[in-house]
Amino acid sequence: MRILVTNDDGITAPGLRELVNTLSEKHEVLVVAPSQEASATGHAITIRLPIWVKEMKIDDKFLGYSVMGTPADCVKLGLDVFSKGKVDLILSGINRGPNLGTDIIYSGTVSGALEGALQGVPSMAISMCDFDDPKYETGAKVAEKLVDEFPWELLPEFCAINVNVPDLPYEEIKGFRVTRQSRRRYRDYFEARRDPYGNTYYWMLGDVIEDDTSPDSDYLAVKEGYVSITPITIFLTAEDVYKELKRRMKW
Amino acid sequence: MRILVTNDDGITAPGLRELVNTLSEKHEVLVVAPSQEASATGHAITIRLPIWVKEMKIDDKFLGYSVMGTPADCVKLGLDVFSKGKVDLILSGINRGPNLGTDIIYSGTVSGALEGALQGVPSMAISMCDFDDPKYETGAKVAEKLVDEFPWELLPEFCAINVNVPDLPYEEIKGFRVTRQSRRRYRDYFEARRDPYGNTYYWMLGDVIEDDTSPDSDYLAVKEGYVSITPITIFLTAEDVYKELKRRMKW
């Protein structure tokens, strides 16, 4: 298969390199990824600034295209400019840290996969559920298994999968579970500081205030040692609300 | 009501000022908006950099807080730092240009409203469907009517409305229509250039390749002269795919 790989931790991130090394054994891999960390960029694209691109080498070996832009930029560039022919699959990751619950609306990793879905290519975001030295080799094996065995034909246009992997040795993973995006959410707060010139600036901080352990939740699957697979869409219409408003609104 | 206003065109944009002027007649309005244009920032938040904030005055009158950040940052800051007490409603806009179809996943305007929804406050994104000198006075009247008459109690937690207004005099608006986010989409392509030092950079361009005129579509409503109201959610789970995968996946 011809696989386009992007991420939001930046092209030199170990999660991306582990993924590329594993997939390259059996597949043709094209890497187009941000030149620096682009976490929490959501689905930003770069339209007011030019996008610089450089070829990236590591140990004298061509790794891919390094893009001064967002994961969504990378997917668009990869498909339009750098892929020579059809791309069969887009992978975004392996991310350092989970993308679960309401967090995913901020995620550059997830937006890489959603951009792929929008462009009509089967796509997957993949994240390790740990920030501190995650076991990317587990994530890479999970990715390989999904690339080979996931029923991609069941994934309709405009849909992608969001995969979260527990930070365990591969043998200890209990299995795979199809899940829903959970209600897990944060409360944000800010710490105000003053710069040496008297201007005020803020740092954003956050605490989890609501976990969601319903049986279908992405969060519970990972907590119980399963790989969580959530099918996600770019369509945001709230169907139930749509129907209720249609019925109730008089004008 | 106490209304928090943000946008993605920047705090000095005429669409925001028209909205604030109109709403201030009857409501208490707090403005927290990006210091500069933040279009197509998607749902980015600023976590790796400090966020500078300045009080913004126009004609010696306090307009609001000018934030070096994204619309989602502004909503979080507005609720946590600058609002003195409960905020009843969050409005994001009035945007210069439509937010219809698949475009809304890139929209800073829409992300302002979705951030409000995530924080548990009834929220609305509002956009004028024209880029060239839009009739913001129409948008402001539409906003005022919705603030007063929309059945906010029907909007559950985690949901917002995405409102698009045809660029017509208010008297010529045919009415309001509850819609679904349509499949309208772009093909992107890139123009490569070389800087004076020999480096390659790209400009992103795009053409609409698919319109969507199904009777429930946001695009058709506006095209026919109606205000389009689409209820949207932060939950991206593709329900049909979830059920099908649950049924079909053997592992």
| pLDDT tens-digit profile, chain B (251 residues) | 999 999 999 999 999 999 999 999 999 999 999 998 877 777 888 887 899 999 999 888 999 999 999 999 999 999 999 998 899 999 999 999 999 999 999 999 999 999 999 999 999 999 999 999 999 999 999 999 999 999 999 999 999 999 999 999 999 999 999 999 999 888 889 999 999 998 899 999 988 887 888 999 999 999 999 999 999 999 999 999 999 999 988 77
Say which amino acid occupies B244. Answer: E
**Tens-place pLDDT, residues B25-53:** 999 999 999 998 877 777 888 887 899 99
- Beta carbons of B42 and A42 less than 8 Å apart: yes
Position A239 scores a pLDDT of: 96
CB proximity B217 to A under 8 Å: no
Confidence label for A49 from pLDDT (cuts 50, 70 and 90)? confident
Helix axes A136-149, A14-24, angle to 10 degrees: 40
Give the residue on B whose Cα is nearest the Cα of A184. B118
Q: Is B104 on the interface with A (CB under 8 A)?
A: yes
Decide the pairing of beta strands B2-6 and B123-128.
Answer: unpaired
From chain B, pick out residues whose CB is under 8 angstroms from the CB of A106.
Answer: 43-45, 72
Find, among B185, B235, B249, B102, the residue nearest to A152 by Cα: B249
Nearest to B199 among A52, A204, A233 (CB): A52
Residue among B41, B48, B241 whose CB faces A156 most closely: B241
Q: Does the model's pTM come out above 0.90?
A: yes
Decide if A155 and B241 are in contact by the 8 Å CB cutoff: yes
Give the mean pLDDT of chain B: 94
Residue B80 phi/psi, 5° resolution? -85, -35
Q: Which of A75, A188, A226 to mutate to test the interface with B (most CBs of B within 10 A)?
A: A188
Return the CATH number of B2-182+212-248, one of 3.40.1210.10, 3.20.20.80, 3.30.70.3040, 3.30.450.40: 3.40.1210.10
Token match 């209720």: residue? A244
> For residues A138 and A127, is the Cβ–Cβ distance under 8 A?
no
Superfamily of the domain at A2-183+212-248: Survival protein SurE-like phosphatase/nucleotidase (3.40.1210.10)
Task: Using DSSP bridges, classify how beta strands A123-128 and A61-67 pair: parallel, antiparallel or unpaired.
Answer: unpaired
Contact status, residue A167 vs residue A147, Cβ threshold 8 Å: no
pLDDT, tens digit (0-9, with 9 covering 90-100), for B87-128: 999 999 999 999 999 999 999 999 999 999 999 999 999 999
Return the amino acid letter for B82: F
Q: What is the distance between the alpha carbons of residues A29 and A19, in angstroms, rounded to a whole number?
A: 10
Cα separations in angstroms, B71 against A192, A224, A238, A245, B40: 19, 36, 22, 27, 11
DSSP H helix total and E strand total for chain B = 6, 11
State how far residue B19 is from chain A, nearest Cα, in angstroms. 22
Q: Which residues have a Cβ under 8 Å from the Cβ of A43 and sit 6 or more positions away?
A: A70, A72, A111, A114, A115, B42, B43, B105, B106
Residue A40 has pLDDT above 80, yes or no: no
Task: Tell me the per-residue pLDDT of A91-114, one tens digit each, with 9 for 90 and over.
Answer: 999 999 999 999 999 999 999 999
- Residue B210's pLDDT is what? 79
Residue B157 is given by DSSP the state: T
SS3 content of chain A, % helix, strand, coil (to 5): 30, 35, 35
Which is it for strands B61-67 and A226-233: parallel, antiparallel or unpaired? unpaired
Reported ipTM: 0.92
- The count of other CB atoms within 10 Å of the CB of residue B54 is 13
Question: What one-character DSSP code corresponds to residue A101?
Answer: G
Q: Which residue of chain B comes nearest to A217, CA vs CA?
A: B237
Q: Is the CB of B43 less than 8 angstroms away from the CB of A48?
A: no
Closest CA to B65 of B48, B49, B84: B84
B203 contacts in A (CB within 8 Å)?
50-51
Q: Which residue in B81, B159, B244 is closest to A154 by CB distance?
A: B244
Closest-CA distance of chain B to residue A182, Å: 8
What torsion, rounded to 10 degrees, do the Cα atoms A184, A187, A188, A189 define?
-160
- How near does any CA of chain A get to the CA of B33, in Å? 15
Burial B135-160 (b: 16+ CB within 10 A, else e): bbebbbbbbbebbeebeeeebeebbb
| Residue A204 touches chain B, beta carbons under 8 Å | yes
Tell me the two tokens of residue B229: 């109201």
At residue A236, φ and ψ (nearest 5 deg) are: -100, -5
For chain A, the domains span 2-183+212-248
